[in-house]
Structure 1
């Protein structure tokens, strides 16, 4: 059984999400280590959401309640009183609804900016982190991999906007009213991650020509050369020369000590979670600060073009049908393979050659194909029970119920 505990910008304060993001790295490993009923865990912590995806042992009494308490317990030691806020605001999702939710999140349909592009990479990084930590599971692997496939289908078939959507573009939209001519605005970018590349593209599309970059990790020179901007080595002096400062880093927090209080008008845009800019910077004379919370209040929620939600729904239906049909498919293939091996045993006794064996194996694959297709069709139509009953009637084949094992076998 799949389970998800989700807290997003829609129902949880940004400061709480900020604090959770600082301590969420070990949450998945803590859950798997502490609870034997948790088969796997993938934790997603982004700029506007925290989500813990779990695979649970079945059967369990009140599995959703157990899983919810397990996640809150794993967080409580690190976030203190915030655990109570998460308890009040987080939503628990179980079963096939988790697949629908994951596919929708990965496609950017639940983001602060609907259709946001960055979320897809963040979802897949969460899966890679779980692999590295050894906390993923076959069911979670399949769901996350198919979420990526569904996202590609949404991008290909739905009207997500030719230029795409991102937090960086939205932030620049909000800054537009303060800029008379982008070509005249000195811009400083703090950080060299994926957001930085997106931000440079958005700035250049608006006509910005004076763009500089600072990196606390010494990557500014190489990054600047790659994107045609100027590298800076002294953060305080770079901020003094800038009129727009955009942060997108996990390595550094700008404080009031970094800002020259000369009353020159400067706009700071904080795209980071955890925060990249101390809120006190907003009190410096001449400084205006836009952070994720403020950006979220202004985030437009445009209706996506025809088909986005329909594509996700279709992908979910296909995924669940294939998953549900897996035991029947394994049963058919096992039945045919057992018959094949028995026949091959007799042929080997008679001294048959390799060509005969290859031909029989090909025949077995051909015989397995149509029943496998029909199993998926009946599952999609909600008639899988009929197909399984027919297998037992015609072939005397009983369908296994160990979903995890049959999913692996069906994929082979």
Structure 2
């Protein structure tokens, strides 16, 4: 049974998402330690969502409530959040609906900016992290690989794949009213992680040429060389941050890299330097305003937050963070979104159909074994009676294939209707064939008729 626990910008505050994000790397292993029925977990953590995809070894028709509560408690323990609060916040998706939800997430349909492109890579990296942690399962692998395929199809076949759909670009769109001329603006990029390259590209698209980079983790030089910009050393950070027109932060560190104290210290140091060279009459006079416009704009794309809220207490500073971006997110472009959702629904149905067929794999293998055991016995008998030219064997094999064709077709038809049990019951009633699931998995892979079976749950 597949389960998804989801908290996003739609149902959770950014404070909670920030706490969940900070501990996301430890969440999946901790979840699996919570209950014996939990076989696998993949966690997606982005700037506007936290989701845990779980694979449960639960009998058909059983309630997953106890297991889900254990998973929520594990997430709360890692993040330092109250489990009761999480239970009232988390959305809950299960069974065949899980595929539709993940495919929609991976395609950017659930993002703050509908159709944004970063999420597809984040989904892929989540699966890679689960592989590293050893928390994935074949069914979760199948789910996430199909999600990546769907996101590529949406990008290639709809207008949602067009240039410019990202949080970075939306933030810069909102900044247009604050920055009158990007070509004259001095910009400091803080971070060299997943958003840094996208942020730099978006800044250049708007005409920004004076962009420098600082990295709290010391990777600024490498990033700067690779992107043709200047790096800011640690001892230059405060002054640079205090005197540029725009700061864009996009790091994955779990503490504030820009705060009131940093900007105040930078302004003071800058003022002292200006006084030393005679640009100001005396120490203590406020530093000059940024070169373009009256205000200094700080754009915080980090989660956890990179910028302390107290920066707005400094005169001339305006903060644009994820919560503000969310408020101003544009409405969906209905035509493109409808086309994308149609692709998601079709792919989710196909995923569900293949999963339902996989649930029949043990019974299919048992039937084929039953028929071919009889066939082999009859071929051996024919050979002992003088079937030297193989014509009897060929005829028997052809007849076995013909006899199996209709049951195989009917198995798929009934599986797609969710009526696998009718086929299984008929198999037992007519042939006396039953399947032991654990024994049939290997046989199913060997026949090549069906993929290795996974556990699924019907949506209810």
Cα distance in 2, alignment partners of residues 181 and 407 from structure 1: 67
| Shift, 1:242, TM fit | 1.5
Q: Quick one: which of 320, 341, 354 aligns to 1:322?
A: 354
Q: Give TM-score, length-normalised by structure 2.
A: 0.77
User: Cα gap change, 1:407/1:335 in structure 2, threshold over 3 Å: closer, same or farther?
Assistant: closer
Number of residue equivalences = 404
Partner of 2:7: 7
| Shift, 1:337, TM fit | 6.1
Could you say what secondary structure the match of 1:4 adopts?
Answer: strand
Q: Quick one: which of 252, 267, 275 aligns to 2:305?
A: 275
User: Cα gap change, 1:401/1:187 in structure 2, threshold over 3 Å: closer, same or farther?
Assistant: same
Cα distance in 1, alignment partners of residues 93 and 14 from structure 2: 21
**8 A contact 1:5–1:53 mirrored in 2:** yes
User: Cα gap change, 1:337/1:377 in structure 2, threshold over 3 Å: closer, same or farther?
Assistant: same
Could you say what secondary structure the match of 1:411 adopts?
Answer: coil
**8 A contact 1:4–1:93 mirrored in 2:** yes
| Shift, 1:118, TM fit | 1.1
| Shift, 1:369, TM fit | 8.9
| Shift, 1:283, TM fit | 1.6
Could you say what secondary structure the match of 1:183 adopts?
Answer: coil
- Please list every run of 5 or more consecutive structure 2 residues that lacks an aligned counterpart in the other structure: 268-286, 385-393, 453-460
| Shift, 1:84, TM fit | 3.9
| Shift, 1:221, TM fit | 2.1
Cα distance in 1, alignment partners of residues 150 and 219 from structure 2: 34
Matching of residue 311 in structure 1 with residue 351 in structure 2: no
| Shift, 1:274, TM fit | 0.6
Query: Residues 356-407 of structure 1: CA distance to partner in whole angstroms, max 9, x if unpaired?
Result: xxx9xx999x988997676445533556556556766887654666799489
Partner of 1:356: none
Partner of 1:152: 152
| Shift, 1:150, TM fit | 1.3
**8 A contact 2:214–2:237 mirrored in 1:** yes
Cα distance in 2, alignment partners of residues 372 and 36 from structure 1: 35
Could you say what secondary structure the match of 2:360 adopts?
Answer: helix
**8 A contact 1:327–1:406 mirrored in 2:** no
User: Cα gap change, 1:380/1:338 in structure 2, threshold over 3 Å: closer, same or farther?
Assistant: closer
User: Cα gap change, 1:240/1:93 in structure 2, threshold over 3 Å: closer, same or farther?
Assistant: same
| Shift, 1:336, TM fit | 4.2
**8 A contact 2:24–2:45 mirrored in 1:** yes
Cα distance in 2, alignment partners of residues 404 and 273 from structure 1: 46
Which residues of 2 match residues 228-247 of structure 1 at below 5 A?
228-233=228-233, 234-247=236-249
| Shift, 1:37, TM fit | 1.5
Cα distance in 2, alignment partners of residues 64 and 322 from structure 1: 23
User: Cα gap change, 1:16/1:329 in structure 2, threshold over 3 Å: closer, same or farther?
Assistant: closer
User: Cα gap change, 1:183/1:343 in structure 2, threshold over 3 Å: closer, same or farther?
Assistant: same
State the Cα RMSD in Å.
Answer: 3.4
Partner of 2:46: 46
Cα distance in 1, alignment partners of residues 8 and 443 from structure 2: 31
Q: Give TM-score, length-normalised by structure 1.
A: 0.86
Partner of 2:187: 187
**8 A contact 2:189–2:214 mirrored in 1:** yes
Could you say what secondary structure the match of 1:207 adopts?
Answer: coil
Query: Residues 62-104 of structure 1: CA distance to partner in whole angstroms, max 9, x if unpaired?
Result: 6342233113311333444554432322212221122211111
Matching of residue 129 in structure 1 with residue 129 in structure 2: yes
Which residues of 2 match residues 10-409 of structure 1 at below 5 A?
10-59=10-59, 63-80=63-80, 82-233=82-233, 234-251=236-253, 253-259=257-263, 260-261=266-267, 262=287, 264=290, 265-304=295-334, 305=336, 306-329=338-361, 331-333=363-365, 335-336=367-368, 375-382=411-418, 384=420, 397-398=433-434, 405=441, 409=445
**8 A contact 1:327–1:400 mirrored in 2:** no
Cα distance in 1, alignment partners of residues 438 and 158 from structure 2: 37
Cα distance in 1, alignment partners of residues 442 and 332 from structure 2: 42
Cα distance in 2, alignment partners of residues 373 and 18 from structure 1: 50
Deviates more, 1:297-306 or 1:81-90: 81-90
**8 A contact 2:190–2:215 mirrored in 1:** yes
| Shift, 1:411, TM fit | 2.4
Cα distance in 2, alignment partners of residues 404 and 42 from structure 1: 27
- Please list every run of 5 or more consecutive structure 1 residues that lacks an aligned counterpart in the other structure: 351-358
Could you say what secondary structure the match of 2:33 adopts?
Answer: helix
Cα distance in 2, alignment partners of residues 60 and 334 from structure 1: 20
